A and B are shown apart, each in its own frame.
Chain A
Amino acid sequence: MASNIYDNFVYSLTQWIHNGLYHMLPPVWALVVELTIIGLVFLIFYALVGLFLVYAERKVCAFMQNRIGPNRVGPYGIFQTIADFIKLLMKELVTIKNSDKLLFNLAPFIVIIASFMAIAAIPFAKGLHAIDFDIGILYVIAVSSLGVVGVLLAGWSSNNKYSLIGAMRSGAQIISYELSVGMSLLTIIILAGTMQFSELVAGQEYGWYIFKGHIPAFIAFVVFLIASTAETNRGPFDLAEAESELTAGFHTEYSGIKFAFFFLAEYMNMFIVASIAATVFLGGWMPFHVWGWTGFNQVMDYIPPSIWYIGKTGFVIFLMMLFKWTFPRLRIDQLLTLEWKYLLPINLFNILLMAFIVLMGWHF
């Protein structure tokens, strides 16, 4: 482990808070306060990242479409999304006649809780994790796929045929693409021999897995990008919304803050899959190191790990935005054909290839 000048910072900060709290309060209350702090930090982080991603997407798509994008509220329009969010907060919540009230109100929460839970396992820097499971990847995949329940409920309870079609499409899509996401990650797990995020990152100190695993790892990365774009319902796989066909798909009937929940969850899901891609394939917060180049490695270490993490995640997010604003949308049968006839066989073969390479020791 390279001695990183930033390694101890997070640890000493959390230790300081931890010790301070246990010093002042009885253990039960200290635990409650700690959990509350963690929850609040994540809540604020979640909202801020969501708002920033909405802004980033608007700027990226404006850049691709010969436009300027938001530029009125604040410098370069950075407060535009905050203004929009305040507007959404104040909007009336329209209740739909003959809708299933309970499920209708529950759906946005399920969607947002699913993405909120997934964020907990992601390492942002050394030691900067809410929780470091030994089955981290499995947990993230399991939790993030809960969101489809919310989407299906939203479509079903809205009492709107457009919503229902959108929800059914979404169900078929997410359940199918889940396989490819899982299997492409499995390819790397074979190489790494662990499912724990911290160990995955540590294993990439000298060479990210996309380089270490060369051909199969690269194939897995491409498959993961395609499948995760589909899993987050983003274009060109945004069939669940498909505004030119289904007006707004499963969230047609939602207004105000409930709509904002869906909107925010969509962007956070993008952030989560980009984080996983960055962590599993591109080394997460680990700086770019080359074996033997001590001077170079030290220079790289001066860049804080969180910056590395944000840079890599941002790169993947940028790729996903480029997809959305370039390609036309697929049709539902083509979407399923792509998964079941192309991605899945490629993936299965790829796993065998990776297993073979690991067995023969042909990786770096």
Chain B
Amino acid sequence: MKEVIHTPVPSVEEEEYHINMGPQHPSTHGVLRLVVTLQGEIVKKLKPHCGYIHRGMEKMCEKDTYPQIIHLTDRMDYLSAHINNHAVCLLVENALQIEVPERVKYIRTIMDELCRIQSHQLWWASFGMDLGGLTCFFYGLRDREKILDIWEESTGARFLQSYYTPGGLMWDIHPNFQKRTKEFLKYFRKKIKDYERILSGNVIFRERSRKIGLMTKEEAISYGVTGPSGRGSGFSCDVRKHHPYGLYDKVDFKEILYQQGDTLARYMVRMDEMYESMHIIDQLIDNIPQGDYSAKMKAVIKLPAGEYYQRVETARGDLGLYCISDGNKTPYRLKFRTPSFSNLSILDHISRDLKIADLVAIGGSLDLVIPDIDR
């Protein structure tokens, strides 16, 4: 007889009960399942169950060529699609010692920062919604649409662009790109003030997020919490600063650090990062040099046998690609170190003994993307 597999249920103390948040729940933003042990309304324990959207991406990569892998990485952290693509391209380019044209570096950096802005916009929108401010959701999506329109014109896709190829770009940017990007920056500088007014300055919001989900710097480091969530605890982990790629060593930008480590600090990091991203684009957008949009590449890309590691800073944190090549056109093994997976691991620790409403707020402030957890 086939044995039924039971998911392990955590032990129950007296007067405790379980609740399944997910896989279908409005505030998990996807198919994440959290088995929450509650005492009244207080969260006692929390156990994430991953795998509801697991697609075996790492295994699929073992039979795909490197240009094909790019198309898979879009679907990991779909809100940082460009940045994920960038990681694979850098991996191949660094392994083959290819120098990409300056124009490509400019465009990639601008695209990456646009990507970060739209990801933070969507995060802001859904974070507002998690806390019950439904209007935030529409403000965020309204402004994000402008970036998607810019991308649609230049890359041909709004969401999963797969715009970068090893050595360069799929095709050149649209002639309108610079004009529209500048228009967007002008527009968004005005609109982000609305964001500040409706949420950041709201007393209910500040009371809901201050001193909730406290994470110390040591905890952030030991759990591997990176990205804005880690930087809200003062953990300096910006890959763009520490291991620059693209043009990040040439442009002027600050690494946003907050020391408080609460939900509000994580919120403020992301808000300030949107300003920083706009500042980066400002420096680059007028100076895109003329030239090829791609370096000369062989038709079949083969990496020399060996081990490679490439890190990029996505909108959620440190994305690492660990690749073992045996000299073939497909990798022998490719491991993704995705930021959301590590960030999820601390959720239990920081949401204990808080209310269930706080759990929703903390989950929102970690900015989890579920396909990025499950791959």
- Count chain B residues whose beta carbon lies closer than 8 angstroms to a beta carbon of A: 31
The stretch from A35-43, A73-81, A210-218, A327-335 touching chain B is: A327-335
- Check A326 against B17 for contact (C-beta < 8 Å): no
Does A243 reach chain B (CB closer than 8 Å)? yes
Selected contact of B358 from candidates A247, A326, A331, CB within 8 Å: A331
**Neighbouring A residues of B356 by C-beta, 8 Å:** 165, 245-246
Selected contact of A67 from candidates B26, B138, B199, CB within 8 Å: B138
In the assembled complex, the Cα of A61 lies from the Cα of B27 at a distance in Å of 21
In the assembled complex, the Cα of A244 lies from the Cα of B208 at a distance in Å of 14
Supposing A161-B17, A244-B131, A326-B135 touch, asked if A66 and B142 sit within 8 A by C-beta, the answer is yes
Flag A231-255 by CB within 8 Å of B: 1 or 0 each.
Answer: 0000110110011111100000000
Name A333's closest neighbour in chain B (CB-CB): B355
Q: Name the distance in Å between A163's Cβ and chain B's nearest Cβ.
A: 11
**Neighbouring B residues of A65 by C-beta, 8 Å:** 134-135, 137-139
Q: Name the distance in Å between B260's Cβ and chain A's nearest Cβ.
A: 19
Give the total number of A-B pairs whose CB atoms are below 8 A apart: 81
Most buried by B among A244, A246, A247: A244
**Neighbouring A residues of B26 by C-beta, 8 Å:** 243-244, 247
- Which residues of chain A (17-51) have a CB below 8 Å from chain B? none
Supposing A65-B135, A242-B132 touch, asked if A247 and B25 sit within 8 A by C-beta, the answer is yes
Does A318 reach chain B (CB closer than 8 Å)? no
Flag A161-191 by CB within 8 Å of B: 1 or 0 each.
Answer: 1100100010000000000000000000000
B interface majority secondary structure: helix
Does A138 reach chain B (CB closer than 8 Å)? no
**Neighbouring A residues of B358 by C-beta, 8 Å:** 331
Name A237's closest neighbour in chain B (CB-CB): B132
**Neighbouring B residues of A328 by C-beta, 8 Å:** 128, 131-133, 199, 202, 204-205, 208
**Neighbouring A residues of B15 by C-beta, 8 Å:** none
Does A259 reach chain B (CB closer than 8 Å)? no
Selected contact of B131 from candidates A162, A239, A325, A329, CB within 8 Å: A329
Q: Name the distance in Å between B201's Cβ and chain A's nearest Cβ.
A: 12
Does A64 reach chain B (CB closer than 8 Å)? yes
- Check B142 against A162 for contact (C-beta < 8 Å): no
- Check A334 against B132 for contact (C-beta < 8 Å): no
**Neighbouring B residues of A66 by C-beta, 8 Å:** 138-139, 142
Does B272 reach chain A (CB closer than 8 Å)? no
Q: Name the distance in Å between A129's Cβ and chain B's nearest Cβ.
A: 37
Flag B176-200 by CB within 8 Å of A: 1 or 0 each.
Answer: 0000000000000000000000110
- Check A327 against B138 for contact (C-beta < 8 Å): no
Name A248's closest neighbour in chain B (CB-CB): B26
Name B36's closest neighbour in chain A (CB-CB): A161
**Neighbouring B residues of A333 by C-beta, 8 Å:** 355
Q: Name the distance in Å between A294's Cβ and chain B's nearest Cβ.
A: 46
- Check B138 against A331 for contact (C-beta < 8 Å): no
Most buried by A among B25, B27, B38, B204: B204
Does B99 reach chain A (CB closer than 8 Å)? no
- Count chain A residues whose beta carbon lies closer than 8 angstroms to a beta carbon of B: 29
In the assembled complex, the Cα of A331 lies from the Cα of B138 at a distance in Å of 23
Q: Name the distance in Å between A279's Cβ and chain B's nearest Cβ.
A: 29
In the assembled complex, the Cα of A325 lies from the Cα of B139 at a distance in Å of 12
- Check B202 against A334 for contact (C-beta < 8 Å): no
- Check B208 against A327 for contact (C-beta < 8 Å): no
- Check B41 against A165 for contact (C-beta < 8 Å): yes
Supposing A65-B138, A165-B356, A235-B132 touch, asked if A334 and B207 sit within 8 A by C-beta, the answer is yes
Does B256 reach chain A (CB closer than 8 Å)? no
Q: Name the distance in Å between B365's Cβ and chain A's nearest Cβ.
A: 13
Q: Name the distance in Å between A172's Cβ and chain B's nearest Cβ.
A: 10
Does B324 reach chain A (CB closer than 8 Å)? no
Does B53 reach chain A (CB closer than 8 Å)? no
In the assembled complex, the Cα of A246 lies from the Cα of B357 at a distance in Å of 9
Supposing A165-B41, A244-B26, A247-B25 touch, asked if A326 and B360 sit within 8 A by C-beta, the answer is no
Selected contact of A332 from candidates B27, B38, B41, B135, CB within 8 Å: B41
**Neighbouring A residues of B19 by C-beta, 8 Å:** 161-162
In the assembled complex, the Cα of A329 lies from the Cα of B360 at a distance in Å of 12
**Neighbouring A residues of B207 by C-beta, 8 Å:** 330-331, 334
Q: Name the distance in Å between B268's Cβ and chain A's nearest Cβ.
A: 16
Does B129 reach chain A (CB closer than 8 Å)? yes
Does B77 reach chain A (CB closer than 8 Å)? no
**Neighbouring B residues of A247 by C-beta, 8 Å:** 25-26
Name A238's closest neighbour in chain B (CB-CB): B132
24 A-B contacts (beta carbon < 8 Å)? A61-B135, A65-B134, A65-B137, A65-B138, A66-B138, A161-B19, A162-B19, A235-B134, A236-B132, A236-B204, A239-B357, A242-B357, A245-B27, A245-B357, A245-B360, A247-B26, A325-B134, A327-B204, A328-B205, A329-B132, A330-B204, A331-B207, A332-B41, A333-B355
The 6 closest A-B pairs by CB, nearest first: A329-B132, A65-B138, A328-B133, A328-B131, A244-B27, A331-B357
